[in-house]
Amino acid sequence: MATQRTYEVMFIVDATASEEDITRLNENLQQIITDQGGTVTKHENMGRRHLAYPIGRRTEGHYVLFEVDGSGREIAELERRMRVNDQVIRYITVRVDEDRRRAEKFKAKRARRASKRGFSGAAARGGAAAEANASGEGQES
């Protein structure tokens, strides 16, 4: 596990928690990540939203998203801390580095195919038809 990987961690904080509590919780979780050797590359407070389904009779929660670069050790500690924290209703961690690498590969492949094709195909036919209509060809009087 020595390689750096990218993870997205989304968690839902109880809606009854104050803004100060949420800020303090975010800072504590970020500190845990940095203490374990990881880095938080993105932190997004998504705000208070309705839950898709009730969780423990709660219908609203405050959503927070972290993007973390690390080895996985910090994720294990982060999840352990969120599991015992009463303010965190739910959390999910997804490893996204392989998916992003695969998406970049497909994007490059599509770009190569598009450059080989040029502007032939439907785009060129549509352009030729538009030029013919503009010059008056193909129109009956």
Long-range contacts of 55-60 (CB under 8 A, 24+ apart): 55/12, 55/89, 55/90, 56/89, 58/14, 58/15, 58/89, 60/15
Of 32, 28, 26, nearest to 10 by C-alpha is 26
Burial of 25-54, coded b for 16+ CB within 10 Å and e otherwise, reads: bbeebbebbeebebebeeeeeeeeeeeeee
At 93-112, the pLDDT tens digits run 999 988 788 888 888 889 88
Q: 3-state class of 1 per DSSP?
A: coil
At 45-88, the pLDDT tens digits run 999 999 999 999 999 999 999 999 998 899 999 999 999 999 99
| Amino acid found at 51 | L
**Predicted TM-score (pTM) of this structure:** 0.71
Which domains can be identified in the chain, with CATH numbers? 5-95 (3.30.70.60), 100-134 (no CATH)
